[in-house]
Amino acid sequence: MEGCACNPGFVWSGQSCVPEDKCGCVNKDDRYFMLGEEWGADRFHCVCKEGNNITCEPLECNPEEGYDWMILDGVYGCICVDDQCAECEDDCSEHATCRLIDLEPTCVCDAGYDGDGLTCENIDDCDPNPCQNGGTCTDGVDSFTYNGKCDPNPCQHGGNCSEGQDSFECACEVGFLGQFCETNIDDCDPHPCQNGGNCTDGVNDYTCECEAGFVGDQCETNVDECASDPCLNGGECLDGVNSYQCECVAGFEGVLCETNFDDCAPHPCQNGAQCVDGVDSYRCICVDGFDGEWCEENIDECFSNPCQNGATCVDGILSYSCDCAPGYTGLNCESEIDECESSPCQNGGVCTDALAMFICACATGYEGVACEINIDDCASTPCLNGANCTDGLNEYSCTCASGFVGTHCEINVDDCVPDACENGGTCIDGVDSYTCECAGGYAGEHCETNIDECDPDPCQNGATCFDEVDSYTCECSSGFEGVNCESNIDDCAVDPCLNGGACTDE
């Protein structure tokens, strides 16, 4: 206020002195707002914060919930269509309607009434008196009536009635015509509303219900949604129709460019590195063992050729390993392996170390790389005549079949020793057996039986048979002779009869 000065520590804010940290905000139209004050600005809800910081967020106007952007009673905002959404906290006057103005439920007096919405009084339509020629005006609601020759006034829509002797004449208000001023001139013909606006005819007037994104008496003005400078972080606002688009500077994104684009997503740093986001940039903090812009390079620990004796170096992460050539060991393959250290030679074999190998001098009777094989001394089939060979250590033994003896069972045992055949029989040796070939007159396995040549009895004529070896003897009865006593002795042969006697042998 002119002529006033604030005390130290206070500054002039609006219409009063406030502490310096409570100073309000000034928008781009040089309009002042108190700290904490909220207001609607062209489809945005704005609030004044400390440090002259005005923060605006887009207001949603959802047609599905009954709202639309329009002008109502000279105010452009998100209005509830046909007042179907308004719910006023205070009780509106019976002559008022609850409407949404910038999303705020507000009581608005009906046509013909005036007031704050909570209290609405009937407007006196007879003040000033519209009735001419002595007519009497009677107030109504947003109307009046009159009496006279022109009473009641036959002229409609405020037409001025002039009485004649037997007639009257209506002088119509601008916007009406006809004998009774009954016709409202269609001010919407031709269509004055631009950009798809819907024209509503009035009295010598019209109103345009603009499509979302346009304002003006004829909807000729595209609402500048960029007027509130909604784009943040240096974003350029591109105005559209009932919309705007923020063209963000590099590194920002979002409807309002409010988000610093996370250059670390998706994660560009490799091999477990930490990504540090910047503005349109990032940097990678590598874990040990990696290098490069994205930590994509595994540091080659094999570069210094640490592996010895022809080993192959295999690079790892912050490490390396050596694939040693045969015969070497150690971290760097620096040591030759003593292949005899594990005592690989068996059965008394003597080990001699060589490169990547060992040599075993086997004890007698063994063979194989590690002298693990007992030489099969039976492999040459040394045992004869069906004998079983039993392998030993550098030796073998033969288990002979019956009838054979000898180291290799090569000797047929002489089963005729001592002489098993009796009575002069000849012994014939077999395998684990013998046979006796008996002398004449003997029989039996061992020729032990003298054959009885008197059975059956060969001697005739009552002779007695005497058995002998391979023979017999017949002792003839008197008067007989012959080997078998088969011959009757002719006793007359000696002519025993004397004196001419005739001899008859009997």
Instruction: Kindly report, residue by residue over 69-128, the tens digit of the pLDDT.
Output: 666 655 556 666 655 556 776 688 888 887 766 557 788 888 889 898 889 999 888 877
Strand intervals (E) in 278-432: 282-285, 290-291, 297-298, 312-315, 320-323, 328-329, 335-336, 350-354, 357-361, 366-367, 373-374, 388-391, 396-399, 404-405, 411-412, 426-429
Q: Each residue of 270-319: pLDDT tens digit? A: 998 999 988 888 999 999 889 899 998 888 889 999 999 999 999 988 88
The backbone torsions φ and ψ at residue 19, rounded to the nearest 5 degrees and listed phi first, read -55, 150
Q: CA–CA separation, 74 vs 58, rounded Å?
A: 22
Q: Tell me the three state secondary structure of residue 20.
A: helix
| E strand or H helix that includes residue 200 | strand 198-201
Q: What would the two tokens of residue 457 be? A: 């009895």
Q: Give the model's pLDDT for residue 155.
A: 85
Q: How far apart are CA 425 and CA 203, in angstroms?
A: 173
Residues 108, 97: contact at Cβ < 8 Å? yes
Quick check: 197 and 211 in contact, CB under 8 A? Answer: yes
Q: What is the CA radius of gyration of the chain?
A: 75
pLDDT score recorded for residue 345: 94
Cα 421 from chain centroid (whole Å): 99
Look at residue 50 in the predicted model and tell me its pLDDT: 82
Cα distances (angstroms) measured from residue 503 to each of 201, 215, 479, 489: 209, 203, 15, 14
What is the predicted pLDDT for the residue at 158? 83
| 326/335 Cα distance (integer angstroms) | 11
Which of 366, 365, 395 shows the shortest CA–CA distance to 378? 395
- Residue 185: the pLDDT is 86
| The pairing of beta strand 144-147 with beta strand 136-139 | antiparallel
* Burial class of residue 297, CB neighbours in 10 A (0-12, 13-18, 19+): middle
Is this model's pTM higher than 0.85 or not? no
Mean pLDDT by 10 residues, the chain (506 residues): 65 70 76 77 76 79 65 60 62 81 75 88 82 65 66 82 76 85 85 91 87 90 89 91 90 88 86 89 90 89 92 90 92 90 92 90 91 90 92 90 90 82 88 88 89 90 89 90 88 79 75
Give the three-state DSSP class for 21.
helix
CB 271 within 8 A of CB 286: yes
Encoding tokens for residue 177?
């015509």
How much is the pLDDT for 1? Answer: 44
Burial class (CB in 10 A: 0-12, 13-18, 19+), 433: exposed
CA distances for 388 relative to 273, 424, 433, angstroms: 78, 38, 20
Q: Could you give all domains of the chain from N- to C-terminal order, each with its CATH number?
A: 452-497 (2.10.25.10)
